[in-house]
Structure 1
Amino acid sequence: MPSPQPRPNIADIPPYVAGKPPTVRPGMTSYKLSSNENPYPPLPGVVEAVQAAVGQMNRYPDMGSGALYAALADTLDVPAEDLSVATGSVGLIYQLVHAFCEPGDEVVFAWRSFEAYPIAVTAAGATAVRVPLRPDARHDLDAMVDAITDRTRIVLVCTPNNPTGPAVTQAELDAFLARVPPDVVVVVDEAYVEFVRMDDPVDGVATYRRHENVVLTRTFSKAYGLAGFRVGYAVAPTPIAGALRAVSLPFGVSTIAQIAAVASLERHAELMERVDALVAERTRVVDGLRAAGWDVPDAQGNFVWFDLGDRTTDFALAADELGIVVRPFAGEGARVSIGETEANDRLLQLAADFPR
């Protein structure tokens, strides 16, 4: 007897592998370094703002996210018409592919990069075009341009790149954009933008202002520590932002997520104190790893990358024995978030003991 069948491409969607929780070990505090979460609690005043809104949970959220759009427009000095909010920046990637790709259209991105990219592309029936990273774990932007065809609708630039860490420079991005056809949407995925400390960093807002095909995607999950509330935003030229809003899930960003995001935007000084502390820890960890003989890529997010190949599973198991859980990519390497000082110390211990 026939039964309902999903579209054929659904079977091709790769699973999203979330970071595992830490193993509970008696007498030992375990740490989760597998999901690039902020180890700090929400910023001062955010919990109180959310608690005050809990009593409204019987009502739908503001579908227009008016207060959040106004706060973002004021913070970024952009028109509210050039904004779109969604359930994290990953929600925006899904919306972009659905808004701009017909089945069979192509989306170009570096690989390895954010693992949600091929999922979103395949779910829409589009074709993922993976361009290998350079040996230093950076985007090969020239090769990405060369991969563009008349079927390409979107190019994704993850900077800093998750999971490997390096970010593109403004000069590199400008040269890249000069070669991309104007009818191709270029997404500059800046989920970790607050952590970037490098020469010639990308100025995403200035870049979007100069181009009619550039979209920025950002999130409150990382630096702001609101991963559990799922809220991100895009900055894009008005027609693109309008298309994103048109395909957005109604009431997708909850009331408490909107309130938490607005309250977080009001606390920039406190945010940067925490980000600076995490960057200082990142520097300490990277310096320690290199002193121990590890050739880790430039780290511009809140994580570090170990190129381990076939030793990846062994590394993850050794980490687990020390009470830290990392994010392994089988046969390739492991991404390890910058966490609490004790957790980072255990990572350095692991790096010193694990054969290189």
Structure 2
Amino acid sequence: MEDIFNDLLSSFKSYILEDSTYKGGGKKVVLPNGVDAHKLSSNENPLGYSKKVKDAITNSLNELNVYPDNTDIRLREALVKDFDNVLTADHFVTANSGSEIIDIIAKVFLSEGDEVIVSQPCFLPYMAFTRWMGATAINVPMTEEYDYDLEGILKAITGNTKIIFLASPNNPSGNYIPFDKLTSFLDKVPKNIIVVYDEVYRHFAEASDYTSGVPFVLKGYNLIAINSFSKTYGLAGLRIGYCYAPLEISNYIRKVCKPFLLSSLALEGAIAALDDMDFVNDTVSLIKTERRFVLEELKKMGIKFWPTEGNFVLIDPPINDVDFTQFLLEKGIMVRPVSNFGAPGKVRISFGIRKANEAMLKAIKDLLNSELYV
């Protein structure tokens, strides 16, 4: 049997055998009676999801024996409306999560020997999905203040570069790329290179010079903007996302999209989510309010953190990240160490409802008054 396996092993791709499995923020912990658990490790929507989504999914349950729509056109038409009709349905591509959009992009643009450019700390699938295609991820690290080194990225471009990954706001650092800097950068990127612009946290950005990818797509830049229904809309469990790009790019990507790709529940849920702006506005308002509250309290405690436009904050914990995470976990607070994102020793904390945020802040205060902190 070992000889048979060895023969089979010769057919395996070495770059797929490498351990590159993405590990999420974990399930909510079960604690003793009287201790509340607050999951602030996965950037999930603290308000849950829209009642319109629940109604739409409930109404679809009686047809689970029937295939869903052959195409995603109804969802793409709903996205056109959501984007105020400045894009057409053909600009959009949908899939089972923003992560799958990244996977599809890697499949249609990368081959063995190609290169992509990433900037750590960043979302791990950028590198994992690149490796699965036999391509290489070149890291141009962010600055100490977690800003993109855009000039460094331009210098790192070679004849093998096919994709540049950018995120604004970026996960896990929360930083963003101002409109003028992004414009100047895109003007200098060779026309044969795709810029993937991850904007899944765009709804939470309030900087006056923040920009989505829309103006650049409309001007024909080779930019693909990635979005997800997991954050603002609270549909992480349905696994649905989308991107938009210039027509030449989006029409090309859609050639590999399978029929019946989206489940009927995901399709109806996403369409209903786009139809509930009240829920979206409530979510955005909560995150912005709680972001201001948490950052001010962290500042009072002397905890170092970085400015953020996302629904999370990156901190430098007062003790090592593993002990810090464990201490908070024992208090019922789940947070995310992000050394594997490329931010050694740092911890990402999602913003929740006020009760969760207060519990998290109290746990940090308890730590500062404990024997662990000297």
Q: Normalising by structure 1, what TM-score?
A: 0.96
Give, in whole Å, the separation in 2 of the partners of 1:324 and 1:258: 33
**1:277 is matched by which residue type in structure 2?**
L
Identify which range, 20-29 or 142-151, moves more after superposition.
20-29
Q: Report % sequence identity.
A: 32
CA contact (8 A) 1:309 1:333 kept: no
Q: Please give the residue correspondences for 1:276-295 in structure 2 after superposition, counting only pairs within 5 Å.
A: 276-295=285-304
Q: Where does residue 51 of structure 1 map in the other structure? A: 58
Give, in angstroms, the shift of residue 2 of structure 1. 3.1
CA apart distance, 1:23: 2.6
**Distance in 1 between residues matched to 2:133 and 2:122, nearest whole Å:** 19
Distance 1:259 1:22 in 2: 27
Higher mean C-alpha deviation, range 250-259 or range 81-90: 250-259
Report Cα offsets for 1:94-137 as digits up to 9, x if no partner: 11111011111011111110011111111111111111111112
In the alignment, is the contact (CA less than 8 A) between 2:40 and 2:335 conserved in 1? yes
Moved over 6 A (4+): none
Question: CA 1:309–1:332 in 2, change beyond 3 Å: closer, same or farther?
Answer: farther
1:325 correspondence with 2:334 = yes
Q: What letter is aligned with 1:31?
A: H
Shift of 1:18: 0.9
Corresponding residue number in structure 2 for 1:8: 14
Q: 1:225 to 1:63 in 2, by over 3 A?
A: same
Indicate the residue corresponding to 1:258 in structure 2: 267
Return the letter of the residue paired with 2:39.
K
1:34 is aligned to 2:41 = yes
Contact 1:215–1:236 under 8 Å retained in 2: yes
CA deviation after TM superposition for structure 1 residue 171, in Å: 1.0
**Amino acid aligned to 1:204:** G
Higher radius of gyration, 1 or 2: 2
Q: Is the 8 A contact 1:92 1:244 kept in 2?
A: no
Residue of structure 2 in register with 1:159 after alignment: 168
Deviation at 1:308, TM superposition (A): 4.4
Change (3 A) 1:288 1:258: same
- Which letter does structure 1 place at the counterpart of 2:64? M
Specify the alignment match of 1:146 in structure 2.
155
**SS at the partner of 1:132?**
coil
Q: Gaps (5+ residues) in structure 1?
A: none
Counterpart selection for 1:214 from 189, 203, 223:
223
- 1:278-336 per-residue CA deviation (whole Å, 9 max, x = no partner) reads 21101110111112112211111111111349811011011101101111124431111
Correspondence for 1:344: 357
Q: Distance in 1 between matches of 2:48 and 2:144?
A: 36
CA distance in 2, matches of 1:100, 1:289: 43
Residue 346 (structure 1) shift: 2.0
Please report the RMSD computed on the Cα atoms of aligned residues, expressed in angstroms.
Answer: 1.6
User: More displaced, 8-17 or 46-55?
Assistant: 8-17
